[in-house]
C-alpha cells in the first residue's frame, strides 16, 4: 500500500508560494493543510487570507484550508465561504500550543474542555457545508486528554483526525508519545493521520511498521529540511547529492524571486528567507554554519552573494 503524505502547515513557511513551488520541484506529497487562518468579523472576498487560498493561485498540491477559532458561528461562516470557493474539506486547529492562543481558549486551549468541543461540533456540524477534519495534540498539559475526546469525535461525521502526539506544553520538542497515539488510534472510528518527527525513511518505516492501520502521514519539519523525503519514502528513489543540491538551489532561487515580488523592504525578503533557511539548512551537513552566515545578512544583495557562495561551495 502506497502511503499518503500530507505537507504539514507551518505558519510563515508553507504558504501558497512555498506550496506551489514545492510541488513543481519535489514529488510524493499528496496534499497540504494550509497554515491556519482566523475568522475576522467581515471577511470580504479581497481579504488577504482568502486571496492566499484562491484555488486559481493554488494549483500545485491539493490544499485543505485550516481555521483556528473557538467560536462555532465564526468557524461555520468562514468554512462555508471556503466551501463556496471550491474547498470540499476544511481543517479545525485545536493543537496550536502558543500561550496567547491557549490563553484565549483557542487551539490547544480547547483540549482539556471536552464539553466546549462537543458544543462546538454540535453547533457547527449540522450547518457546515465542507467535510471537517481536525488537527489536534494529545493534550494541553497531560498526554491523556485526547482519550476523552476520541469517543466524542466518534459521534460526529468527521473526515479524519490528524494527531500530533505531544502536549502543548512540549511545544515542538521532547519525545512524541507513541503509546498515547496508539491508544487514540485504537479508540477512533475515523481515519487517523499520524504527525510528528518524521525526518528519515527509517523514522517512517518504524512508525509504519508499528501502526499498519495508518494510511496517511503528515510531515512538516522533516519535509522542509529534506524536500526529497516524500519521494524517497514512496518511490524508494535516490538522486545523487549534486542533483539534489541543484534542485534545492533552483527551488530556493524561485522562492526568492516570488517573495521578492510581494515583499517590499530589503529586510522583509531577507527575513522571510531566513525563516525558511531555519529549517531548509537541515538538509546540509554544515547546517549550523549555513544558518549563521545567512542570519548575518540584512540586505538582499549581501544575501544573494552569501547564498550563491554557499551553493557554489557545496558542489
Closest contact distance (angstroms) between CB of 141 and ligand FMN is 18
Least separation in angstroms between residue 36's CB and ligand FMN is 4
Instruction: Find the angle CA(16)-CA(229)-CA(179) to the nearest 5 degrees.
Output: 100
Nearer to ligand FMN, 8 or 314 (CB): 8
C-beta of 10 vs 307, nearer to ligand FMN:
10
Measured CA distances, 50 to 58, 135, 144, 155, 242 (Å): 12, 20, 35, 31, 39
- Three cell numbers, residue 286: 554544515
With CB atoms as reference, the residue minimizing the distance to ligand FMN is 220
Q: Shortest approach of ligand FMN to residue 95 CB, angstroms?
A: 5
By beta-carbon proximity to ligand FMN, the closer residue of 82 and 314 is 82
Beta strands, E only, the chain: 4-7, 31-37, 63-67, 89-94, 131-139, 160-167, 191-195, 216-219
Asked whether 164 and 145 are in contact (CB, 8 A), the reply is no
- Would you tell me which residues interact with ligand FMN (CB under 6 A)? 8-12, 35-36, 66, 93, 95, 135, 164, 172, 195-198, 219-222
Nearer to ligand FMN, 109 or 300 (CB): 109
Closer Cβ to ligand FMN, 166 or 183, answer by number: 166
183, 210 in Cβ contact below 8 A? Answer: no
Supply the minimum distance, in Å, between the C-beta of residue 187 and ligand FMN.
Answer: 20
Grid coordinates given for 26: 519535489
Which one, of 125, 185, 182, lies nearest residue 159 by Cα? 125
Residue 94 C-beta: closest distance to ligand FMN, Å: 9
| Beta carbon nearer to ligand FMN, 150 or 163 | 163
Distance of CA 299 to the CA centre of its chain: 29
Q: Output the smallest distance, CB 213 to ligand FMN, in A.
A: 19
Amino acid at each position: 500500500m502506497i502511503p499518503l503524505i500530507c505537507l504539514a502547515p507551518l505558519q510563515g513557511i508553507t504558504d501558497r508560494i512555498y506550496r506551489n513551488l514545492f510541488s513543481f520541484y519535489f514529488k510524493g506529497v499528496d496534499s497540504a493543510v494550509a497554515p491556519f487562518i482566523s475568522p475576522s468579523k467581515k471577511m470580504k472576498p479581497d481579504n488577504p487570507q482568502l486571496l492566499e487560498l484562491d484555488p486559481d493561485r493554488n494549483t500545485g498540491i491539493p490544499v485543505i484550508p485550516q481555521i483556528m477559532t473557538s467560536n462555532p458561528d465564526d468557524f461555520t461562516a468562514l468554512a462555508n465561504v471556503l466551501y463556496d470557493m471550491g474547498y470540499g474539506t476544511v481543517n479545525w486547529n485545536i493543537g496550536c500550543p502558543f500561550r496567547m492562543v491557549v490563553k484565549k481558549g483557542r487551539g490547544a486551549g480547547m483540549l482539556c474542555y471536552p464539553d466546549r468541543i462537543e458544543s462546538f461540533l454540535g453547533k457547527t456540524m449540522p450547518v457546515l457545508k465542507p467535510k471537517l477534519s481536525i488537527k489536534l495534540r494529545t493534550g494541553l498539559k497531560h498526554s491523556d486528554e485526547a482519550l476523552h475526546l476520541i469517543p466524542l469525535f466518534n459521534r460526529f461525521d468527521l473526515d479524519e483526525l490528524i494527531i500530533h502526539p505531544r502536549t502543548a506544553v512540549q511545544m515542538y520538542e521532547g519525545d512524541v508519545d507513541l503509546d498515547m497515539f496508539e491508544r487514540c488510534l485504537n479508540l477512533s472510528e475515523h481515519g487517523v493521520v499520524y504527525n510528528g518527527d518524521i525526518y528519515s525513511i527509517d523514522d517512517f518505516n518504524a512508525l509504519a511498521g508499528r501502526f499498519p492501520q495508518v494510511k496517511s502521514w503528515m510531515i512538516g519539519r522533516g519535509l522542509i529540511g529534506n524536500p526529497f523525503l516524500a519521494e524517497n519514502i514512496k518511490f524508494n528513489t535516490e538522486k545523487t547529492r549534486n542533483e539534489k543540491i541543484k534542485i534545492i538551489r533552483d527551488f530556493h532561487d524561485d522562492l526568492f524571486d516570488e517573495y521578492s515580488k510581494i515583499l517590499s523592504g530589503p529586510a522583509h525578503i531577507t527575513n522571510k528567507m531566513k525563516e525558511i533557511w531555519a529549517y531548509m539548512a537541515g538538509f546540509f551537513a554544515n547546517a549550523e554554519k549555513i544558518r549563521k552566515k545567512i542570519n548575518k545578512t540584512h540586505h538582499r544583495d549581501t544575501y544573494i552573494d552569501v547564498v550563491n557562495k554557499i551553493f557554489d561551495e557545496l558542489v
